[in-house]
Structure 1
Amino acid sequence: MDRILIVEDDEGIRETLRYNLEATGYAVSEAGDGAVGLRTAHNLRPDLVLLDLMLPSMSGMDFCRAFRRASSAPIIMLTAKDSEVDKIVGLELGADDYITKPFSVREVLARVHAVLRRRNGGQGERSQPEQETLGNFSLDRPGRRVMVDGAEVHLTSREFDLLSHLIARSGRVQSREMLLQEVWGTSFVGDRKTVDVHIRWLREKLADRVPLEIVTVRGAGYRLDRRKSGGPETAGGQAPAISLAR
Structure 2
Amino acid sequence: MPRVLVVEDDVQLVRALKINLQARSYEVEEASDAGSALRLAATCKPDVIVLDLGLPDMDGVELIRVIRGWSRVPILVLSARHMSEDKVRALDAGADDYVTKPFSMDELLARLRAATRRRRQATADTPELTVVTTDGFTIDLAAKKVQRDSGTVRLTPTEWHLLEVLVTSPGRLVSQRALLREVWGPTYAENTNYLRVYMAQLRRKLEADPAHPRYLITEPGMGYRFEP
Q: TM-score, normalised by structure 2?
A: 0.52
RMSD: 1.6
What's the offset of the Cα at 1:120?
Answer: 2.6
Within 5 Å, give how 1:1-246 maps onto structure 2: 1-121=1-121
Deviation string 1:73-130 (CA, Å, 9 cap, x unpaired) is: 100001101111110110111100010000121111111001212333499xxxxxxx
Q: Residues 61 and 122 of structure 1: is their aligned pair in 2 closer, same or farther, counting only changes over 3 Å?
A: closer
2:25 partner SS: coil
1:22 partner SS: helix
* Greater RCO, 1 or 2 (C-alpha within 8 Å, sep 6+): 1
2-side partners of 1:107 and 1:19: how far apart?
Answer: 16
What corresponds to 1:208 in structure 2?
Answer: none
Aligned-partner residue type, residue 112 of structure 2:
V
Contact 2:47 2:119 in 1 (8 A): no
1:120 partner SS: helix
Aligned-partner residue type, residue 12 of structure 1:
Q
Q: Residues 96 and 23 of structure 1: is their aligned pair in 2 closer, same or farther, counting only changes over 3 Å?
A: same
Structure label with greater radius of gyration: 1
Structure 1 residue runs without a partner (length 5+): 124-246
2:42 partner SS: helix
1:67 partner SS: helix
Deviation string 1:125-178 (CA, Å, 9 cap, x unpaired) is: xxxxxxxxxxxxxxxxxxxxxxxxxxxxxxxxxxxxxxxxxxxxxxxxxxxxxx
1-side partners of 2:39 and 2:118: how far apart?
Answer: 26
Aligned pair count reads 123
Moved over 4 A (4+): none
What corresponds to 1:220 in structure 2?
Answer: none
Structure 2 residue runs without a partner (length 5+): 124-228
2:98 partner SS: strand
Identical residues among aligned pairs (%): 46
2-side partners of 1:71 and 1:45: how far apart?
Answer: 10
